[in-house]
Amino acid sequence: MDKLMNKRPVLWLLGIGTPALLLAAWWLASAGSTDTFFPPLADIVDRFRALWLFDHFGSDVLVSLRNLVLGYAIAALAAVAVGFVTALAAPVRWAVDPLIHFLRGIPPVALVPIFISLMGFGPEMRVASIALAAFFPTFIATVDGLRAVDRGLLDVAQVYRLSRRDRVVAVLLPAASPQIFSGLQVSLQTAFVVMIASEMLGPSRGIGAMTLLAQQSFMISDMWSGILLLGVIGFAANFLFDLVRRKVLAWYIGSRRLARAS
């Protein structure tokens, strides 16, 4: 235990130091570069600041983020709700199961053209594409999680005649929450990919659209800065997600750690 505590700062240093070192190496190696495709990092950072923090913040960064948040939120809520109905009502399960397994096999990005033909190139199309693609991982995890709830806990809920609300909120939902969160994490990654993919088709705004446009107009520093921004957003989204997960699943993480220790 003591040893591990002492290792903590070292590990932190490694975690922060390694990317910092890589960035520094990139900065130095690219400093005088005249290669069109690998401009100096200094240029890229300049463009990053000019493009994303000022000119296109409102018109593109916010648009992308709004689509992402909206699509993901719709997907998460719908997936958990439909997952509950599917897992708990046998007829629904029989009706829905084969369809779901067919749909989940389609790569999420391939769904985008369907929505383009249905909705055109508006923001609705992008939100809908994100929502549908992000729906499946969480939905499937929710159904699996609910089916795996311990019989013993369900017996307790029955013997003590818990209300339907308590049964859902205090027993089923928490019992399935570790699996639901695994699904939500995959959904988040899916939503992110589809957000970018949906912007790369048709006349469009957003970080993905801007990055593609920059590439097509040989504004290579702009393109790199767009990729950098996507990396930062992806990192931040995962970081936030993990923060929430650690808070909500504190009981699960704690019990697992204890079980492993003994």
Partner 1 sequence: MRTTETAPITTTDTPVVPEPPRLDVVHLAKSYGSSSQKGDGGKKVIEDLTFSVGAGEVVCIVGPSGVGKTTLLKCLAGLQPASSGYAAIDGRTISGPPPEMALVFQDYSRSLMPWLTVRKNVILPLRHLRLAKAELKARCDEALEAVGLSHAENQYPWQLSGGMQQRVAIARALAYRPEILIMDEPFASVDAQTRFDLEDLCLRIREDFGMTILVVTHDIDEAVYLADRVVVLGSKPARVLRVVDVDLPSPRDQISTRALPEFAEQRTEVLALIKRPA
Q: Specify the residue for token string 């779901």.
A: 100
CB atoms within 10 A of CB 130: 32
Binding map of partner 1 across residues 142-181, x = CB under 8 A, - = no contact: --------xxxx-xx-xxxxxx--x---xx--xx-x----
- Give the CA radius of gyration of the chain: 23
- Distance (Å, whole) CA 130 – CA 146: 25
Amino acid at 108: P
CB closer to partner 1, 104 vs 256: 256
The two structure tokens encoding residue 75:
């997907």
Minimum gap (Å) between residue 213 Cβ and partner 1 = 48
Q: Which of residues 87-116 bind partner 1 (CB under 8 A)?
A: none
Contacts (CB under 8 A) with partner 1, residues 237-256: 251-252, 254-255
* Residue located via tokens 């609300």: 165
Q: Which is nearer to partner 1, 42 or 153 (by Cβ)?
A: 153
- We find the least distance from the C-beta atom of residue 251 to partner 1, in angstroms, to be 4
Q: How far is the CB of 85 from partner 1 (least distance, A)?
A: 23
In the complex, least distance from residue 253 CB atom to partner 1, rounded to whole angstroms? 11
The DSSP annotation for 135-154 comes to HHHHHHHHHHHHHTS-HHHH
Q: To which H or E segment does residue 191 belong?
A: helix 173-199
Q: How far apart are CA 238 and CA 244, in angstroms?
A: 10
What minimum distance in Å lies between the beta carbon of 240 and partner 1? 22
**Nearer Cβ to partner 1 (99/259):** 259
Reduce the DSSP state of residue 47 to 3 states and report it.
Answer: helix
Contact 211, 226 (CB under 8 A): yes
209 close to 226: Cβ distance less than 8 angstroms: no
As given in the structure block, the two tokens for residue 247 are: 């808070």
Pick between residue 96 and residue 171 the one whose CB is nearest to partner 1: 171
**Nearest distance from residue 146's CB to partner 1, in Å?**
15
Q: Which is nearer to partner 1, 29 or 169 (CB)?
A: 169
Instruction: Confirm if 40 and 186 have CB atoms less than 8 A apart.
Output: no
Residue number, 5 or 258, with CB nearest to partner 1: 258
Does residue 32 interact with partner 1 by CB under 8 A? no
Residue choice 1, 5, 258, 261 for contact with partner 1 (CB under 8 A):
258
3-state class of 217 per DSSP?
coil
Shortest separation between residue 19's beta carbon and partner 1, angstroms: 35
Residue among 8 and 260 whose Cβ is closer to partner 1: 260
Binding site for partner 1 (CB under 8 A): 150-153, 155-156, 158-163, 166, 170-171, 174-175, 177, 251-252, 254-255, 258-259
